[in-house]
Amino acid sequence: MTAASVSFRAVGRAFDTNAGRRQVLRDVDLEVAAGEIVAILGPSGCGKSTLLRIAGGLDHASAGVVSVDGTAVVPFDPRSAVGFQEPRLLPWRTVAGNVALGLPRGTSKTAGRDKVARLIELVGLADFAGHRPREISGGMAQRTSLARALARNPGVLLLDEPFGALDALTRLKMQDLLLDVHAAAPTTVLLVTHDVDEALQLADRVVLLGSDGEAPGADIRQIVVVPGSRPRDRGSAELAELRGRLLDGLGIDRHGAARGIEATTTIPHYPY
């Protein structure tokens, strides 16, 4: 597994809807170094997941270019692997069988079996390799999903809210596991999250997407460099200051209330 760099140059994405053309992303410029962990934050509907899908070749940019190691991304780019919010495991396959689905084509049976065993051990599921999804917890299922993504030998690991469906304690444990996995297999990671604390705990840099309201579509509002080596002290004053900056950028005050929005207002969510 060799980490790859990722480059976004003037990337834009627009969708045709019943109400007309909707510009979701515009002029996104970002360079991600090989082996770096970058978290992407922003309000619902600002294009975080869209940017991730474009990076993996699951969607295409309407403008601009995305490249991996200097070469343009192609549809379903084999250099990337995706981990989703839901584990999406096949219920009739064992943990080992689900991880094996991520193996590149042409992998021999012996090499594949050995690799699956190594990955299952890496995510702490060696004693559950023969279990089926209904027999394991949600956190174990998400570990299986992570191992399946790593089985592809990705230069870039794309994680879209991978821990969003987990309870708070399991989520913290999965964050620690991701750091352990990254230390053992330091691929490049792009992580979409709504959790500011998660972004600060995991990422080298945090990218905040948003709109100024004057032009359609979201672009990069801030890029915050997170100091210190991982794992970080979740209670540090330095992270607390950065947390406040990011919450301000999201339009939320230090007490968690959205500025200018009534408590009963529902903020619309768009699947972008």
pLDDT in tens, 67-76: 999 999 999 9
- The DSSP 8-state label assigned to residue 252 in this structure reads B
Gap between the Cα atoms of 36 and 80, Å rounded: 14
* Residue 260 domain flag: no
137 and 7 within one domain: no
pLDDT of residue 257: 53
Total tally of structural domains belonging to the chain: 2
CA distances from 109 to 112, 118, 209 (A): 5, 14, 43
Give pLDDT tens digits for 109-121: 899 999 999 999 9
204 and 108 within one domain: no
Query: What mean pLDDT is predicted for residues 20-41?
Result: 94
Segment of 24-33, 216-225, 257-266 carrying the highest mean pLDDT: 24-33
Query: What mean pLDDT is predicted for residues 88-94?
Result: 95
* Residue 267 reports pLDDT greater than 90: no
HSE at residue 167, side-chain half, CA atoms within 13 A, is 6
160 and 74 within one domain: yes
Q: Out of 134, 153, 172, pick the residue that ends a domain.
A: 153
Tokens of 152: 């592809």
Query: What mean pLDDT is predicted for residues 214-223?
Result: 87
178 and 139 within one domain: no
The closest of 215, 152, 135, 234 to 187, measured between CA atoms, is 152
pLDDT of residue 265: 31
Confidence at 269, pLDDT banded by 50, 70, 90:
very low
pLDDT of residue 235: 84
Residue ranges making up the domain that contains 193: 1-79+156-243
Say which residue, 97 or 251, is predicted with more confidence: 97
Three-class SS state of 141: helix
